[in-house]
Structure 1
Amino acid sequence: MSHYTPRNFTLPADYCFRGDPRDAAESAADPYIFSRAAVIAVDVALATGRPLLVAGPPGCGKSRLAETMAAVLRWNFVYQTITSRTRLEQLTVEVDHLRRLNDAHLAARSLQRALADRDEEYYNPGIFWWAFDAHSARRRGLPESVAGPRSEPRFPGVERKLPDEAREGTVLLLDEIDKAEPDLPNDLLEPLDRGSFGLPDGRTLRAQDGAQRLTVITTNRERELPPAFVRRCVTLLLAEPSREALVAIAAVRAPQAEKTLVEKVADRIEALRQELDESGRRPPGTSEFLDAVNTCQQLRIAVDSPDWEETWQQIELVTLRKPMVTEDERSRPA
C-alpha cells in the first residue's frame, strides 16, 4: 500500500506523533500512532470542514485521536463527554436561572447585589460557544463596552487549558455521542452545519470568520445514529489493531518492555479476541494490552521465569478478561 502524505497537517513518515518539542506539556503526552485510514479521514475532514465521526470499540484510540490532532496542529483542545442527560442548551448556552433568582431575592431585600441589568450576565456558554468564539464566551456575549462579570468555563476540556485566542484553530471533541438521547444528534445539525446557534435573546452566535475548527465525534456504536446526522460527517471506523500493529504500538508506548514479552501478550490478545467474541463478551483493546505489558514490565515478570504461566494467568484475568462473574456462577441455571 502506497504511503499517503496529508496535505493539511504534518506527520513523520511512520505516522507516529511523539509530541511537539516547542510545547513541553504536549510533548510529554503519550505518543500516538495513526493508521493510514485515520490520516486520510482527518485530512478529508479538514479539507471539507465536516465533522469527523469516529466509530470503534472502547480502548481503540478514538478520543486520543482528537487530542493528538490538537497537538499536531497546535490548536486549542476542548471536549465534553456526552451522557443520556446532555441537552443542546448545555452544549451551546444555558441561562443560570438559579443565580438570577438569587439576585432577584437579594435586590428585593435591598442587599448588596442587585439584579443584573443585562440578560447576558446570566448566560453560561457551552462547549460550542467556547469553540466558536472563546473571547465572546469569556464575556458571556456582553459588548466590550460593558464591564460585566466574566464567564468561567464549566467543562473539563476548557478548565484544563483555557483556549488561547492566539492559536489559529480549535479541535472540539464530543465523546460518546451514542450515549445521548435520540434527538440530540439531529439537534446538533445547526451548530455543526452552519457554525451557529441561537441565543436566548433571539440573537445568533456565529463562529468567528476565518477561525479553523476540527470537530471530532466518537461513538462506540451502542446505538444507531440518525442517517441525516451521519450524512453530514466524514466517517472513520477504527478497528482493533492487528498483532503486528500492537507490537508496533508497544515499541513506542512501552519501549522498555522486552520484545519477547510484547509478542507473547500480543499473541494472547489475538487468541482472546476470538474466544471472547464467540462468547459475546467485549475483547480487550489497545489500552488493556498496554496495561498487561506494563504490568509485567513493572513487576519484573519475565517470560522465561519458572512461574510465568501461573502468574500470567492471574494478570490476564485482571487486565484482559476482567470477568464480573465466576465460572461457577456462569454455569449455574437461571
Structure 2
Amino acid sequence: MKFQGTEKYVASDDLQMAVNAAITLQRPLLIKGEPGTGKTLLAEEMAVALDAPLISWHIKSTTKAQQGLYEYDAVSRLRDSQLGDDKVHDISNYIVKGKLWEAFESEKQAVLLIDEIDKADIEFPNDLLLELDRMEFYVYETKKRVQARFRPIIVITSNNEKELPDAFLRRCFFHYINFPDHETLSRIVDVHFPGIQQELVRDALEIFFDVRKVPGLKKKPSTSELIDWLKLLMADDLAKKVVQEKDTSQALPPLYGALVKNEQDVHLLQKLAFMARRRG
C-alpha cells in the first residue's frame, strides 16, 4: 500500500515520494523541517493510512539509546528480595521493554516514531545503528536475543538542534518538509475547518505570510499556530472584522499571541507598524 496522505493530513508529492521510497528501501525516514510543519503528525497519519500500530518514542535530553531496547529494574528486584517475594528468582520479571522491543514484537508491521532525536546526546543515534541495521538485539540479563517479527517502518524527526552523525545519516532516507505555499496551506486549513469562510482564510493567510516575511523575526509563526489563530478568529467576531477590514492602524494582528511567541518579535512588529504609519 502506498502512502498518499489522509483526510487529516495534506502531503505534498515530494513527501509522498519520500515516505514510499523509505518503505521500499526499508530504511528509516529522517524528517526535518520547521517546528509546526507536521513532522510528528506525519508518523501518526502514516499509521492510519497503512493500518499499522503506532509506537511513539519521544526523546528528551536525558534519554539514552538503551532505554529504547530495555531497562533492568534492579531497585525493584532489591526491594522484592527484602520483602521475600518469590518472583525475584526470575530476572525477566525486572526487564522493562523499550519502544524498539515493542515494535520488534508487534504482531503486524508497526510504525515506530523516534521523535526529536536531536534533543538527545550526540552519541544517541550512533548507539542505535546496530539494532536498526540488524533488527535485533541481545538481552544480557536473560541471555535472550530479540529479533523483529516484522521490520517496522521507522520515522525519525529532527528540529536541527544538533548535527546528526554521518554514519547515522547514511542509513536513513532524508526529507526536508518545506514550509507550505499559499495553496497548500489553504488545503490544510480546509482539512481542519471544513466549510470555513474563504474570504476569512484569504485575508488571514495574507496577514500570516506578511508576518512570516518580516526580516529579523526570531520565531516565524508555523502551520500549527495558523490553525490556532484561525480557530480564535472564528470564535471572535470583532477580531474577524479587524482581519477582514485590514486595519493598518493596528500594530499587530488581532489575537497575535497565537502567532507571535516572544516579546522581541512583538516589539519588532510594533516598530515596523509605527514606521509604516509615519511613511504614510
TM-score range, shorter chain: 0.7 to 0.9
Q: Which amino acid aligns with 1:194?
A: R
Match of 1:245 in 2: 184
1:192 counterpart (112, 122, 132): 132
The 8 Å contact of residues 96 and 124 in structure 1, kept in 2 or not, is answered as yes
Is 1:293 aligned with 2:233? no
Is 1:60 aligned with 2:37? yes
Q: Which amino acid aligns with 1:127?
A: K
Match of 1:169 in 2: 109
* Aligned-partner Cα distance in 1 for 2:80–2:146: 26
Q: CA deviation at 1:212?
A: 4.4
SS at match of 1:63: helix
Q: CA deviation at 1:204?
A: 2.2
Match of 2:278 in 1: none
The 8 Å contact of residues 3 and 19 in structure 2, kept in 1 or not, is answered as no
Q: CA deviation at 1:280?
A: 4.9
Is 1:219 aligned with 2:158? yes
The 8 Å contact of residues 59 and 114 in structure 2, kept in 1 or not, is answered as yes
The 8 Å contact of residues 292 and 315 in structure 1, kept in 2 or not, is answered as no
SS at match of 2:152: strand
Is 1:35 aligned with 2:12? yes
* Aligned-partner Cα distance in 2 for 1:42–1:318: 34
- Is the alpha carbon distance of 1:65 and 1:10 closer, same or farther for their aligned partners in structure 2, counting shifts above 3 Å? closer
1:106 counterpart (55, 68, 83): 83
The two structures, once aligned, show a CA RMSD in angstroms of: 2.4
* Aligned-partner Cα distance in 2 for 1:85–1:305: 44
SS at match of 2:56: strand
Aligned length: 266
SS at match of 2:156: strand
- Is the alpha carbon distance of 1:327 and 1:284 closer, same or farther for their aligned partners in structure 2, counting shifts above 3 Å? closer
* Aligned-partner Cα distance in 2 for 1:221–1:245: 24
- Is the alpha carbon distance of 1:228 and 1:10 closer, same or farther for their aligned partners in structure 2, counting shifts above 3 Å? closer
Is 1:179 aligned with 2:103? no
Q: Which amino acid aligns with 1:9?
A: K
* Aligned-partner Cα distance in 1 for 2:240–2:254: 13
* Aligned-partner Cα distance in 2 for 1:306–1:314: 11
* Aligned-partner Cα distance in 2 for 1:75–1:41: 18
SS at match of 1:54: strand
Identity %: 32
Q: Which amino acid aligns with 2:56?
A: Y
- Post-superposition Cα deviations, 1:86-137, rounded to whole Å, max 9, x if no partner, equal 0122111000111101011112xxxxx2352221111000000000014xxx
- Post-superposition Cα deviations, 1:254-288, rounded to whole Å, max 9, x if no partner, equal 1232111111121122212221xx31512111111
1:271 counterpart (210, 215, 218): 210
Query: Structure 1: where are the runs of 5+ without partners?
Result: 1-7, 19-30, 108-112, 135-164
State the TM-score, normalized to the length of structure 2. 0.87
SS at match of 1:313: coil
Query: Structure 2: where are the runs of 5+ without partners?
Result: 272-280
Q: Which amino acid aligns with 1:91?
A: G
The 8 Å contact of residues 56 and 114 in structure 2, kept in 1 or not, is answered as yes
SS at match of 1:53: strand
SS at match of 1:302: helix
- Is the alpha carbon distance of 1:305 and 1:120 closer, same or farther for their aligned partners in structure 2, counting shifts above 3 Å? closer
SS at match of 1:84: coil
1:228 counterpart (164, 167, 173): 167
- Post-superposition Cα deviations, 1:56-115, rounded to whole Å, max 9, x if no partner, equal 0100000000000000010000101111100122111000111101011112xxxxx235
* Aligned-partner Cα distance in 2 for 1:248–1:327: 32
SS at match of 1:188: helix
1:302 counterpart (240, 243, 260): 240
- Is the alpha carbon distance of 1:231 and 1:316 closer, same or farther for their aligned partners in structure 2, counting shifts above 3 Å? farther
Match of 1:49 in 2: 26
* Aligned-partner Cα distance in 1 for 2:219–2:27: 31
The 8 Å contact of residues 31 and 155 in structure 2, kept in 1 or not, is answered as yes
* Aligned-partner Cα distance in 2 for 1:46–1:237: 17
The 8 Å contact of residues 317 and 323 in structure 1, kept in 2 or not, is answered as no
* Aligned-partner Cα distance in 2 for 1:229–1:86: 17
Is 1:9 aligned with 2:2? yes
- Is the alpha carbon distance of 1:133 and 1:306 closer, same or farther for their aligned partners in structure 2, counting shifts above 3 Å? closer
* Aligned-partner Cα distance in 2 for 1:305–1:180: 41
- Post-superposition Cα deviations, 1:38-68, rounded to whole Å, max 9, x if no partner, equal 1101101110110000000100000000000
